[in-house]
Amino acid sequence: MMDNLMITLPLLILFLPLFSFTILIFFGKKLPRQGDWVAVGSIVVTFFLALYLFIQMILEYDPGFNHGASFSWVDLDAFKIDLGILVDNLTIIMLLIVTLVSSCTHIFSLEYMKGDIRYHRYYAYLGLFTFSMNGIVLADNLISMYMSWELVGVSSYLLIGHWFEKESAADASKKAFLTNRVGDIGFFIGIMLLYSAIGSFAFGPIFDSIANGDTIAGMTLTLAGLGIFMGAMGKSSQFPLHIWLPDAMEGPTPVSALMHAATMVAAGVYMSVRLFPIFTPDALLVIAYIGGITAMLAALIAITQNDIKKVLAYSTVSQLGYMILAVGTGVYTAAFFHLLTHAMFKANLFYCSGSVIHSMHHALHKKHDHDTDPQDMRNMGGFKSKMPITYWSMLISTLAIAGVPVFSGFLSKDAILAGTLAFAQHHPGHFLLPIFGFGAAAITAFYMFRLIFMTFYGKPSIKEIFNDIHESPKEMSGPIVLLGMLSFFIFYTFPNFNPMSDYGWFKDLVVPQTSAVPGSMTANEIAEHAHHVHYFAMGLSIAVATLGILLAVLMYHKNVISPKTISKKLGFLYDLSLNKFYFDENYNRFLYQPFLRLASTISWLDWEFYDKYLINGFGRVTNIFSRLSGKLDYDGIDQGLVDGLGRITNSGGKNLRKIQTGRLQNYLLYVVAGILVIIIVQAF
C-alpha cells in the first residue's frame, strides 16, 4: 500500500500543474477571475502532497528511502527508451522546495499581477513551468530529465518575456533561451556519449557500469561528464554562460523568485548532485574552478549595482557558484544543503524586493511620475518605518545569506567552505578555491547590507512619494513572513537545537554516495577531511561575514566612509564592476558581431552569388536553350519536317488524284508505259 502511495502521490504532484496549464490556456479567459483559483488550488494541493511525502520520509528516517516505477516508451530492440520516476530523499526534499516556492509565487501574484492584460496566460505558464521542474526532479533516467529540461527552457522563455511589448523583456527572454541552448547542446552530447558506451539512459545502470570500469572510462568519461555539466552551466548561470540571468529580471518579480531563486537555476545544481557519481576527478576540478570563479565574479559585480533586482540576480549567480564549487570539491551534499536553504531566503528576498517595487510603483503612479525607476535603490531610503513586515523579513533573509549564526545560510555556507578548505589542504596547488569561497562570502555580506541600508535606512530620496509608501497587502506579506521564518536554522537541524552545528534530519537522511568512478576518494574520506577543518572554517566564515557587514555599516549607514570617494579612488576597477566586467559588450564585439558578419557574408554568398549568379544564371542559360530548342522544335521539326512532309504528301495526293480519271484506256496506257520503263531499266 505504501509503495503504491509513494508512486501515486509524486505522479499527482507532477501532473496537477499540467492540468492547471491545460485548463487555463484553453478556458482561462472564460472562467471567473480568469481561473487564478484553478492555478492556486492545484499548486497548493501539490505542496501539501509534497509535505505529506516529506513527513513520511522523516517518520521512516531511512537514508536508503527509495521507490520507483517505469514503463517502456520506445522499444526497437537495439534502441530502447524507458520513462519513469525515482522517489528518494533527494527527490522529496526538492519536490518540497519546488512546490512551496511555487505556491508562494502563485499566492503572491494574486495581488502583484492584478489587472495584467495576460493574467490567465501568466498563471498557465506558471503551471507549465512547475510541471517541467517537477519532471526534472522525478526523472529516473537521462532522457526523461532532458525532455523536462528543455520544457523548463521553453516555459522560462514565456515567463521572462511575459511583458513582451517591452523590447528589453523580449530581448531578455531570447537571450535566456539561446544562452541555455548552448549549455543544452553539451548536455545532449554528454548523454549520447554515455548511451553509446553503456547502452542505457537509466541512472542505476549507468552508475553500475562506470563502477565496473568495463564500458567507459578515462578521457571519454571526463568529456561525457563535462558535456552534462555544460547543461548545468546554462541553467545554473555559471561563467561564462551567466549573462542571461541578470537580464531575466525583466520578467515579473514573482517569476524571478520562482525561477531564478529556487527552481530553474537550482536545476543545474540538482542535476550535478544527482549525477555526481559519474564525474571523474579531472571533471570535478574543472567544475570547482568554474563554480569558484562564478561565485567571486558575480559578487564583485553585485557590489556596485543600483537596481534592487539586479543585486539579487548577481547574488543568485554568486550563490549558485558556491553550490557548484561544493560539487567540484566533493562535498556535494553541502551543495544540496545550500540549495535548500538558499531557496527559502533568496525567494523571500525577491518577494521583499517585489513588495518594495510594488509600493514604489503605486506611489509614483499616484504622482503621475512615469520616468523614475521604481527598482533603483537610489530612489528609495527610509522605508523601514513604512514597510515594517517587509523590512524585518528581508533583514532576516539577509542575515541568512550573509552567513550569520542562528540563520540557515550560516550552516550551509560553513559546510561548503569547510569542504573547500579541506580540498585545498590536500591539494595545495589549488589554494585559489578557498580564496574564491571566503572572498565571495565577505563580499556577499557587504552588498546585501548595502541593499538593506540603501532601501530601508537613511532619509527618503524622493520626499514627494514617501508618504504614499505603504506595506503590501496580505496576499504578498503572507509568503514573505513564511519564508522569513524558514530562514532560521532550526528547520534544517531538527531535532538538534545547536545553532552552530549542521547535524539534524538533513545530514542524517541525505548521505553522500561514493563516486562510481574507480580510484576516486570515497564519501567517508571526503567527509572526514571536511570535519577536520570544520571549526577553523566556521570561525573564518564568521570573521569574513562580520568584516563585510561592518564595512557596509560604515559606508551606507554611519557614512563614515564615502562610497563616492571609494569609487573615485578605485577608478577603472569600479567601472569594471559597474559595467559587469563588460561581458555583454565583449560578447557582442567578439562573438555576436563576428557571427553576424559571418552570417551576412554567407547570406551574400547564398543570395548574391549562389542564387543570383549560379542558380539564376543556370536558369537564364536553361531559358535560352529552351527557347532555341523550342524554336528548333517548332520551326525545324514541327513546321519544316513534319508539316513539310505533310504538305508534300498532300500535294502528291492531289497530283495523283488527277491521274485517277476513271477511264479504262488511260489506266491501260499507264500500264504499258510502266512496262516500257521496266524493260528499259533492265536493258541498261
Q: What is the pLDDT of residues 585-624, one digit of tens each?
A: 888 888 888 888 888 888 777 777 777 777 777 777 777 8
Q: Are 14 and 130 in contact, with CB atoms under 8 Å apart?
A: no
Q: Which of 309-318, 360-369, 575-584 has the highest mean pLDDT?
A: 309-318
- Higher pLDDT: 134 or 162? It is 134
pLDDT of residue 666: 67
Which of helix, strand or coil describes residue 462?
Answer: coil
Residue 172, CA atoms < 13 Å, CB-side half-sphere: 22
pLDDT of residue 663: 67
Residue 22's nearest CA partner among 125, 107, 161, 95 is 125
pLDDT of residue 96: 92
- Higher pLDDT: 3 or 350? It is 350
Mean pLDDT of 14-34: 87
pLDDT(172) > 90? no
User: Would you state the cell numbers that stand for residue 570, as one nine-digit string?
Assistant: 578605485
Q: What is the pLDDT of residues 176-206, one digit of tens each?
A: 888 888 899 999 999 999 988 888 888 888 8
User: Would you state the cell numbers that stand for residue 303, as one nine-digit string?
Assistant: 557590489
pLDDT of residue 94: 92
Q: Which of 66-70, 139-143, 478-482 has the highest mean pLDDT?
A: 139-143
- Higher pLDDT: 595 or 17? It is 17
pLDDT(51) > 90? yes
pLDDT(230) > 90? yes
pLDDT(127) > 70? yes
pLDDT(546) > 90? yes
Distances (CA, A) of 620 to 48, 611, 615, 625, 629: 72, 12, 9, 9, 14
Q: What is the pLDDT of residues 68-90, one digit of tens each?
A: 887 777 777 777 788 888 999 99
545 confidence band (pLDDT: 50, 70, 90): very high
Distances (CA, A) of 658 to 331, 649, 652, 665: 116, 14, 10, 15
- Higher pLDDT: 241 or 260? It is 241
Which of helix, strand or coil describes residue 82?
Answer: strand
- Helices 36-60 and 119-138: crossing angle in degrees, nearest 10, is 20
Q: What is the pLDDT of residues 626-657, one digit of tens each?
A: 778 777 776 667 666 777 777 777 777 677 66
pLDDT(1) > 60? no
pLDDT of residue 554: 92
- % of the chain with per-residue pLDDT over 70: 95
91 confidence band (pLDDT: 50, 70, 90): very high
If you average pLDDT over every residue of the chain, what do you get? 85
Q: What is the pLDDT of residues 356-388, one digit of tens each?
A: 888 888 888 887 777 788 888 888 888 888 888
